[in-house]
């Protein structure tokens, strides 16, 4: 039986690696590194640096593979993601059958934490459902961009006695501020925060967290929204890609519920 380890590697800083993650990589026969083209070469470079820095087992072999692009034309969001995951499952099934022998262990290096807005677990579940290759999986947690965001801004995630909601930009208008007073927003390609009009809202924004290119901005949403839009646009143009996250909050510790 093949074994697959899904390893969280943190949000961009190689020093985010846990001892468990390092040990898991060193126990693997094959380390799988996804590549997303020249515009996102830094994402693969961080994985390569982690391997170079921490993997000391000479028997480990690195296999890089290209990630297919998600097609969005004439499809809803769910349709495009479903088709993309199906294509990724075919790629992963081929990788495992070709590169990993029975009894061997492979490891996928996953940005952040595999359980938080990453689909590697789902994709490997699809591979199992295809029935073309048999394997067991284990998951190693990692430091998330949400943790890195709060650490960079030196804030707790929650206010005392109140919940936190994690959502996407597409869902933000359904959530903040009517339903939740603290919202962490991921995958916001449309910068939905700019459409929130609340004089009491605070924003804590960060991009490229954990990397040498890290950018953070915080303050009243109404005062910082335009600045974040401008900084984000310039950063994306300069880098060719952007990975950002933000926290919206209103209210304070010990306010009446």
pLDDT, tens digit, 9 for 90 and up, residues 30-60:
999 999 877 777 888 899 999 999 999 999 9
Q: Note the helical H segments in the chain.
A: 19-26, 41-54, 77-99, 120-130, 145-153, 221-239
pLDDT of residue 131: 92
Burial of 239 (0-12, 13-18, 19+ CB in 10 A): middle
- The per-residue pLDDT for range 164-219, each reduced to its tens digit, is 999 999 999 999 999 999 999 998 989 999 999 999 999 999 999 988 899 999 99
pLDDT of residue 246: 98
pTM of the model: 0.90
Whether 215 and 221 have beta carbons less than 8 Å apart is answered as no
pLDDT band for 23, please (50, 70, 90 cuts).
very high
For residue 89, count other CB atoms closer than 10 A to its CB. 20
Q: How far apart are CA 76 and CA 88, in angstroms?
A: 18
Token pair in block for residue 19: 């001892």
Flag the least confident range among 39-43, 224-228, 232-236. 39-43
Q: Is the pLDDT of residue 256 over 70?
A: no
Name the helix (H) or strand (E) containing 107.
Answer: strand 105-110
CB under 8 Å to 145, separation ≥6 — which residues? 11, 112, 186, 206, 209, 210, 243, 245
Provide the pairing of β-strand 215-220 with 202-207: antiparallel
pLDDT of residue 72: 83
Q: How far apart are CA 123 and CA 169, in angstroms?
A: 23
CATH classification for the domain delimited by 2-143, as one of 2.60.40.2550, 3.40.1010.10, 3.20.20.220, 3.40.720.10:
3.40.1010.10
pLDDT of residue 253: 87
User: What are the boundaries of each domain within the chain?
Assistant: 2-143, 146-249
pLDDT of residue 182: 96
CATH number of 146-249: 3.30.950.10
Mean pLDDT of the chain: 93
Strand partners, 191: none
pLDDT of residue 252: 87
Strand partners, 7: 109, 140
Give DSSP secondary structure letters for 20-85: HHHHHHHT-SEEEEEE--GGGHHHHHHHHHHHHHH---TT-EEEEEEPPPPP-TT--HHHHHHHHH
CA 103 to chain centre: 29
Question: Nearest-5° angle of CA 237, CA 147, CA 211?
Answer: 40
């Amino acid at each position: 039986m093949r074994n697959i380890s899904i390893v969280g590697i943190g949000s961009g800083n190689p020093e985010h690696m846990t001892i468990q993650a390092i040990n898991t990589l060193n126990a693997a026969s094959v380390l799988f590194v996804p590549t997303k083209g020249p515009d996102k070469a830094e994402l693969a470079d961080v994985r390569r640096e982690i391997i170079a820095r921490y993997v000391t087992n000479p028997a480990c072999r690195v296999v890089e593979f290209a990630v297919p692009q998600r097609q969005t034309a004439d499809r809803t969001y769910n349709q495009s993601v479903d088709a993309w995951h199906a294509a990724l499952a075919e790629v992963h099934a081929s990788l495992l059958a070709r590169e990993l022998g029975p009894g061997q262990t492979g490891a996928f290096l996953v940005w952040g934490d595999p359980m938080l807005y990453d689909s590697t677990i789902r994709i490997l579940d699809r591979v199992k459902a295809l029935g073309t290759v048999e394997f067991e999986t284990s998951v190693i947690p990692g430091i998330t961009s949400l943790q890195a965001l709060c650490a960079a801004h030196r804030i707790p995630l929650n206010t005392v006695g109140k919940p936190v909601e994690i959502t996407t930009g597409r869902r933000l208008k359904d959530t903040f501020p009517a339903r939740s007073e603290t919202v962490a927003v991921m995958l916001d390609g449309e910068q939905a925060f700019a459409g929130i009009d609340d004089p009491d809202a605070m924003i804590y924004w960060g991009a490229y967290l954990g990397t040498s290119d890290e950018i953070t901005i915080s303050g009243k949403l109404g005062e910082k929204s335009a600045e974040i839009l401008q900084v984000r646009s310039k950063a994306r143009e300069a880098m060719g890609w952007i990975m950002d996250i933000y926290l919206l909050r209103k209210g304070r510790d010990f306010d009446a519920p």
